[in-house]
Amino acid sequence: MGMEQTLIILKPDAVQRGLMGKILSRFEEKGLKVVGAKFMQISQELAATHYCDHKERPFYAGLVNFMTSSPVLVMALEGVGAIAICRSMMGATFGSQADAGTIRGDFGVSNSFNLVHGSDSTEAATKELGLFFTEGEIISWNRASEGWVYDLSGDEPE
Ligand code: IDP
Ligand code: MG
């Protein structure tokens, strides 16, 4: 498990409830590095492509409606094992079931308005980052605190 990038979306409910800062802070405080960020309104077309795997599910129409109803904050986050780390920080899909200490567990109770999306595999991350960001919008930058976030004395950050 090496350095990974993952797509995180702070969904319309997170934006409308004024929780963007709190949620982003959790990822920053964990040590994940923001390498892309965009405040945008998702089009029907983009939502349909992003959630195409769920097309046959009963909640699909409501999900697309929700995700396009109001602006979102889309982010590319980087770190060793970032995909699994972000998924565990998000918690279970349903706010009603997510553990306390997770984003969904601490900030929501709804099963559909669950605040945050995160890629669930390397394949999904590659696909989703490509959907939401052009190459130039993902920025490689030197973080001053890097050597305190990771042990950089070996070949790989640890
Ligand atoms: P995930 O976001 O935890 O990966 P998925 O199963 O991929 O969960 O579902 C995508 C999104 O669809 C969820 O985050 C949630 O917003 C919505 N969703 C999933 N299952 C249901 C459901 O049973 N009822 C209503 N909305 C749902
Ligand atoms: Mg999913």
Residue 154 lies inside a defined structural domain of this protein = no
Tens of pLDDT, residue by residue over 19-62, are 999 999 999 999 999 999 999 999 999 999 999 999 999 999 99
Here the CATH number for the domain that contains residue 36 is 3.30.70.141
Q: Is 59 in the pocket of ligand 1 (CB under 6 A)?
A: yes
Marked catalytic residue, from 107, 117, 119, 128: 117
Instruction: Report the residue among 11, 59, 103 best suited for mutation to probe ligand 1: largest number of ligand atoms under 8 A from its CB.
Output: 59
CB neighbour list of residue 123: distance below 8 Å, 6 or more residues apart: none
Taking the whole predicted model, whether its pTM rises above 0.95 is answered as: yes
Output the six-digit token pair for 87. 């998924």
37 lies in some domain: yes
> What pLDDT score does 47 carry?
98
Contact criterion met (CB below 8 Å) for 35 and 137 = no
Q: Is 117 a catalytic residue?
A: yes
Q: How many domains does the chain have?
A: 1
Taking Cα atoms as reference points, which of 155, 71, 83, 68 lies closest to residue 125? 83
CA distance 89 to 119: 12
pLDDT score, position 120: 98
How confident is the model at residue 17, as a pLDDT?
A: 98
